[in-house]
Amino acid sequence: MGTLAVMGAFLLVACSGADRGPGARIIAVHNTLQAIGFSQVGEFSEGALDQGRSQQFTFDFEDDDCYVFVALGGTGVRDVDLELVSPEGEQLATDTTTDRQAVLQVC
């Protein structure tokens, strides 16, 4: 077992109207990942960050498992990035595409 830090600009904001907000998108992503054999580990984290800010999360993982990390931005968000970093500071995975969501898979 090891520990990794996940850093990303998570902006999960409730919204209304025709735009599918993060809540509906989280459920869709969760159900899709579950359908292909992934199971949820831990709780969803929801919050808001100012532009250019980041949030760090630390978790324990099993060495032989695969993990998927998803960050979804709400209305008005144009870019969300994710980075997975080891305790030693080594970058293990990153999603820096210009989208309002970011996804990492690490095995």
* 10-43 residue pLDDT tens: 333 333 334 556 678 888 888 998 999 998 887 8
Q: Please report where in the chains the tokens 């305790």 appear, as a residue.
A: 87
Q: What pLDDT is stored for residue 20 in this prediction? A: 58
DSSP H helices, 8-107, are 22-35
Contact 71, 82 (CB under 8 A): yes
Question: What does residue 19 show for φ and ψ, rounded to 5 degrees?
Answer: -65, 130
Which amino acid, one-letter code, is at 82?
A: L
Contacts of 73 (CB under 8 A, 6+ apart): 11, 12, 13, 22, 79, 80, 100, 101
Q: What pLDDT is stored for residue 48 in this prediction? A: 85
Q: What is the pLDDT of residues 34-60, one digit of tens each?
A: 999 998 887 888 888 888 888 888 888
> Token pair for residue 80?
């969300």
Largest CA distance in the chain: 44
pTM exceeding the 0.75 threshold for the entire prediction: no
